[in-house]
Amino acid sequence: MASLMNNGRPLTPDVVIDETWFSNPAFCEETKQWYPLSKTLAEEAAWNFADENGIDLTILHPGFVIGPLLQPTLNLTSEDILNFIKEGREIFPNGIYRYVDVRDVAQAHILLINCSKIKRCGVWNEREKKWIRSKIWSHRQNAVQPHGFLQGIKSPV
């Protein structure tokens, strides 16, 4: 999402981010938003390379990817979520949360690799989103968090 949302436009709950949204490199530099700038320039380079070499390119913008921790301590994103749940501490000033499970992102990548019909840029319609969700959840229908999955996790601070 970093290569999409940092353009100076107001971002309110009623705004739909679609294929017309891109971060503005000049705005990112002016506001010293280096991470979004790097993501924007990297995506621009990928699109240019794909165009110059006749490559079909699809880019996913899943928001904040979360999932099971691989280490015994909380990472920054997980700690922010835990603080929000425990203390009500807001993470985003506009109150819009864009979390997605890492396993769903991985499954979406696999679906895109295997789907030859997707040769266009833009936003999927609701029917296509339902199809994608059905494919993702068919693989995760029995997935549940193990009992006590947060036990033993220590904050890095």
First to last CA, the chain: 27
Specify the 3-state DSSP secondary structure of 124.
Answer: coil
Under 8 Å between Cβ of 23 and 4: yes
Annotated catalytic residue within 32, 39, 119, 129: 39
Give the chain's radius of gyration (CA, Å). 18
What is the sign of the dihedral through the CA atoms of 123, 127, 130 and 134? negative
Residue 84 has which token pair? 């929000």
Is residue 39 annotated as a catalytic residue, yes or no?
Answer: yes
The CA distance from 70 to 149, in Å, is: 12
Closest CA to 74 of 136, 19, 155, 3: 155
Catalytic residues: 39
